[in-house]
Structure 1
């Protein structure tokens, strides 16, 4: 539970699903269309958690009504879509943030502070992976995860996490190289991305729907390494590794629940303070991330309708 937060309304394409969700989580108002969501109690902010293909339309719907938005990652299915959303937010002066909840987890925040403070010396590289076993090939057509019309594929669902982490540590890449295994329908299911940064550091980012990985992240430095405990995108700790005979120095940052509360609290603070975007995960951060993701898709041959 989050202090001072209350679920007042839920919107769905189905009245039945909206009613069930509202009953389960105690929402006051359940709407069978997204537009009707706003016909109930006053809404201070909206969290958009539809399939990727709905993010642009629904974000613009909320921004036009002057309602702050926390939109689930990926903010848009392409760089162009994200540009459109950012422009709408800035022109209307309404708050918008992409829901990359990992950015707000204490373990990852503290790991970044340790790296910036020289805990492993000069950072030379990153290796991060995220994989799970998806549907058998014969079931691809039945699952939105493999449907390009819905933004399906490994990259936007889970590959975004390793690439986000690389950006969090290094900033903007100067070179992007990507390769992938793509289904006949056009969804990537096994994707490798290598990012090079000014100074020569490399980030190796891997995502797959073909098998389970450790969801590990390792930062390599001139004086040691920093291991973000798996699964890194929801980690509760990290370790600093130095000499081969030295024990790891462990840092634990436990929390209850899933960890979305840190992101939610940050948005609540921003909205109450009248801010138009987050200082921790800004709209410029989202634009840079989606510039990288869109270039990766160009290289692996994955495109979406309307591009």
Structure 2
């Protein structure tokens, strides 16, 4: 099968992990990289064998033929760069969050569908082997009827005196716990339950208005609840617990790319441990899914569709309204 040529725009830490995992796919090749720094682009290209290094995002398209672009810039660049790629008819895998708010996501989805070009939000968790197995088990009633979900994600952000320059803490840069890490617990709730009937949220904000400690509670038909917690104040277990009528399912930490989960059916029974270990960082699975979709002529993912992204960002935008986080221009 012909080599699938990737480009990466934005060359930070996640881009490096993605590039490392591309090397685990036999028929994938990184051919072009784009950055606002030509020096950084050249160093990245040398590290991963890309033949074309560009000091602007636009110039990244001047090299070899590109089959798909992975966009890994800060949140504020996702919409603009995605639209540039779609205008050229180039398939896009855009790092989460797809956009800063529902309006941005709606415009990106409209552009993808209007140009008949592939677009997927890089919610890699959907493709992690243990998450795929977990979803199949829950869907076939492996823990009975799902009644509730609890998930958290927290790490200790570095204290800074210049929060206005820090992506994590500055709303002008899309900062805050919710879009950076809180998206994962909310995603899991949607992945399992669908669209909530009610959305409740509260948060602690910085002086600049970024959320650093955020609790979201989603209510579903029958009164079922999903408790979603994210924080930049300290390390949490970053695991998830699913409550069913016939047992509990514990997704091991970090749940969003876990290599296993356990099913608990009673105090007198040992846990059923499910392990799906993998090498690398775990980004290869979403990359392979994109490659399969594009080669098959599909314009969006069947596992995480554009409608799924629209629903997720409708919820996230409503959460920000409730906690009082606003980005410039909103």
- What does residue range 31-180 of structure 1 map to in structure 2 within 5 Å? 31-136=54-159, 138-180=161-203
Pair 1:225 & 2:254 matched: no
User: In the aligned structure 2, how far is the partner of 1:138 from the partner of 1:242?
Assistant: 49
User: In the aligned structure 1, how far is the partner of 2:204 from the partner of 2:101?
Assistant: 20
- How far off is 1:137 after superposition? 5.4
User: In the aligned structure 2, how far is the partner of 1:44 from the partner of 1:223?
Assistant: 46
Unpaired stretches in structure 1, ≥5 consecutive residues: none
User: In the aligned structure 2, how far is the partner of 1:69 from the partner of 1:306?
Assistant: 25
Q: 2:44 aligns with which of 6, 9, 21?
A: 21
- How far off is 1:136 after superposition? 1.7
- How far off is 1:119 after superposition? 1.3
- Give secondary structure in 2 for the equivalent of 1:146: coil
Match of 1:183 in 2: 206
User: In the aligned structure 2, how far is the partner of 1:115 from the partner of 1:273?
Assistant: 28
User: In the aligned structure 2, how far is the partner of 1:95 from the partner of 1:300?
Assistant: 33
Let me know the Cα RMSD of the aligned residues: 0.8
User: In the aligned structure 1, how far is the partner of 2:55 from the partner of 2:162?
Assistant: 29
Unpaired stretches in structure 2, ≥5 consecutive residues: 1-23
- Give secondary structure in 1 for the equivalent of 2:221: coil
Q: 1:195 aligns with which of 209, 218, 238?
A: 218
Pair 1:270 & 2:270 matched: no
User: In the aligned structure 1, how far is the partner of 2:292 from the partner of 2:263?
Assistant: 32
Count how many residue pairs are aligned between Structure 1 and Structure 2. Answer: 307
- How far off is 1:288 after superposition? 0.2
Match of 2:278 in 1: 255
User: In the aligned structure 2, how far is the partner of 1:246 from the partner of 1:274?
Assistant: 47
- Per-residue CA deviations over 1:184-229 (Å, capped at 9, x if unaligned) read 1011000000000112110000000000000010000111100001
User: In the aligned structure 1, how far is the partner of 2:160 from the partner of 2:28?
Assistant: 42
Q: 1:281 aligns with which of 282, 294, 304?
A: 304
- Per-residue CA deviations over 1:146-193 (Å, capped at 9, x if unaligned) read 111111100000000000000000000000000000111011000000
Q: State the TM-score, normalized to the length of structure 1.
A: 0.99
User: In the aligned structure 2, how far is the partner of 1:120 from the partner of 1:200?
Assistant: 18
